[in-house]
Structure 1
């Protein structure tokens, strides 16, 4: 080979080496064009409706975040929502979580999975995968297991009960001139419902001077509410705590109470969770039967969310914004904030950022603080009390976020 040939070959090798080095350097410094976040919610079966509304909230948030410039710390990388159906059983939820971590290995965080029972099962999987999981689910057990990758954005069920009961007692006393003395409980056996009534059964009612005269637990969906309502009629409590998670169960009990002459405020009814305030309930039950019913929820569209409520209505024809939409919307912004803080699309770094967060998009959560304690619970998380008034469930507490004054149904 001639000297010229050697030089040409040497020049080509050098150029190739420089090209490889340059490509490697570019790859090391490159930022992702999109960052995947997961949404694990029921989109089939008994709980498909609330899961669909959670998807609406997540889609709106991702669109808003991307339109505002994406993740600025990652050179404007856009969020990409990866949606998985958790189904309507704990086994399906766990299987969906396993598919999520196996197939979507580049997820940086996720949110879900509606029912506390589903979230308890799913987070067993996400914890092992070190995938940070935000949840609006209420059960205290979710963050009582020593996990490091679970972040609960709603007030826990026990906390909500302790916050709500003194408020309800005062509302009743101010409106009627006397304190309630007896109470009945009808609850389904899902995780959040059981967790909500647990402190009541274990001393909270007694602390407030309330006698528990009826305590019934059922498995959803109900086929017949008659036996439950007959017990309500025979005990005639001053208050009824009714905790369904399925709209059809709420409908059956409220209609049966009206049939037995107990509806329309004759026995003030208080719920926990959103099943009794879902828009779909109006398709099968009249607003008159719902008038005055209170429910305590982790979050709700409140004063200051008017633009979001309007967009949800225009885009998805939703008449109001429930916890499922507003909380999931907020969760996406929390993940966005964690990514900005982490500075890289890495799930462990995002989890570290969540643990040290002390600000964030707090306007989407009652209590106004996005900070998590060592268990993963949001610090000083407040709850929202919603009341049916003239065919619409409106926020009546806390006062700073309320859009209407509460009233106590006349017996």
Structure 2
């Protein structure tokens, strides 16, 4: 696959604004100026991989899953001799799923000399750091965040190993059609990830033509009472509801919808796929809830050994995005090995040159836009203990 070094397409407006803010912060903290391009220039020391993930705030449940998955890959690669004789080192910062916090955290990672980024959970916190890492020559392999806005930023250093919002919306539409939905209400929380996913689903549904979108509405995140939104949903008489936001609000809305008399299916996006959804919604409120998600180890045949190794290392079962974070480290390491270098352009070319590299979601090959050639989304449902389990792999 051909590759032209240092191609730079114009930043999307949101990313361009974030770049200005990031450079201002960097001037105060030493961020971008804190080292040579793509790292601290020490070819004999460890290769530092940076990870931004939420360890505080409403999405903090995912931070440790991501860190543990990435650390597991780091340990395995180091035990096998590292990358060209150099060990990997994981450097973690808390982005709290917040745009301001993520910019400050990204500058800390750049100042620490990271040579690649393997983090990114919330799209709204990941989008502002794209220009920071790109300007510093730090390639990004993003394990979780998947808003189309990340792709539309047009940076050659950015790669997604989770399916995009477009691909997730395709899976949502496929399942809605499969169960015979005709009138669909769509709710989002107005974050980058959630709005993007909702918009993509609505656009695809309207193009398909079978389903009528009877409601397309944003809610205010962080509230406890969504009765006004629930009233609007009930009034639109849907036979299928799509929620594209995170689990905190999604669980409350689900409970309030059912209390108001809605009895049809509720499909949630991958930001709501966590055991806490059932804890917040409460017993008896999740029987009709399904979600879109890439398959986790417990859904895959032959993953028992990996799960056992994770549990032995961290004393708990792996959760959402532990596998994607594990694979993000492996993907970066493979690209560096193939490139024989940690220099930015060489690593990017190494990433673009991966062809069928084995990861949990299947053989990995990146498109020209740095996305997966196949999204790999399946439908999951909630089991008795609150965990999400495979319901439909959408293969037939």
TM-score between the two structures when normalised by the length of structure 1: 0.79
CA distance in 2, matches of 1:45, 1:313: 25
Aligned counterpart, 1:91? 100
1:277-356 alignment runs, 5 A limit: 277-301=273-297, 302-303=299-300, 304-316=302-314, 318-319=316-317, 321-322=319-320, 324-356=321-353
Match of 2:160 among 103, 127, 152: 152
Q: Which segments of 5 or more consecutive residues in structure 2 lack a partner in the other structure?
A: 1-41
CA deviations on 1:134-153 (whole Å, 9 max, x unpaired) are 11211112112221100011
The CA deviation at 1:66 is 2.0
Counterparts in 2 of 1:345 and 1:127: CA distance versus 1, 3 Å: closer
Structure 1 range deviating more: 92-101 or 327-336: 92-101
CA distance in 2, matches of 1:113, 1:214: 30
The CA deviation at 1:307 is 2.6
Q: Which segments of 5 or more consecutive residues in structure 1 lack a partner in the other structure?
A: 1-29, 173-178, 406-411
The CA deviation at 1:184 is 0.4
Does the CA-based 8 Å contact 1:272-1:297 persist in structure 2? yes
Report the secondary structure of 1:380's partner residue. Answer: coil
Counterparts in 2 of 1:283 and 1:240: CA distance versus 1, 3 Å: closer
CA deviations on 1:150-187 (whole Å, 9 max, x unpaired) are 001122101221233123321x1xxxxxx321010111
Report the secondary structure of 2:366's partner residue. Answer: coil
Aligned counterpart, 1:253? 253
Does the CA-based 8 Å contact 1:45-1:87 persist in structure 2? yes
The CA deviation at 1:200 is 3.0
CA distance in 2, matches of 1:213, 1:282: 27
CA distance in 2, matches of 1:314, 1:253: 37
CA distance in 2, matches of 1:121, 1:358: 29
CA RMSD of aligned residues (A): 2.3
Report the secondary structure of 1:62's partner residue. Answer: helix
Corresponding position: 1:211 with 2:212: yes
* Rg larger in structure: 1
The CA deviation at 1:203 is 4.8
Counterparts in 2 of 1:214 and 1:375: CA distance versus 1, 3 Å: same
Does the CA-based 8 Å contact 1:154-1:383 persist in structure 2? no
Aligned counterpart, 1:51? 63
Aligned counterpart, 2:23? none
CA distance in 2, matches of 1:134, 1:214: 35
Match of 1:161 among 154, 169, 189: 169
CA deviations on 1:268-324 (whole Å, 9 max, x unpaired) are 00111132x2123344343532224111124533313223333444544545532x2
CA distance in 2, matches of 1:248, 1:109: 31
Aligned counterpart, 1:228? 229
TM-score between the two structures when normalised by the length of structure 2: 0.82
CA distance in 2, matches of 1:317, 1:254: 32
Counterparts in 2 of 1:159 and 1:88: CA distance versus 1, 3 Å: closer
CA deviations on 1:45-76 (whole Å, 9 max, x unpaired) are 232222222112112221222233322xx13x
CA distance in 2, matches of 1:70, 1:168: 45
Aligned length, in residue pairs: 351
The CA deviation at 1:188 is 0.8
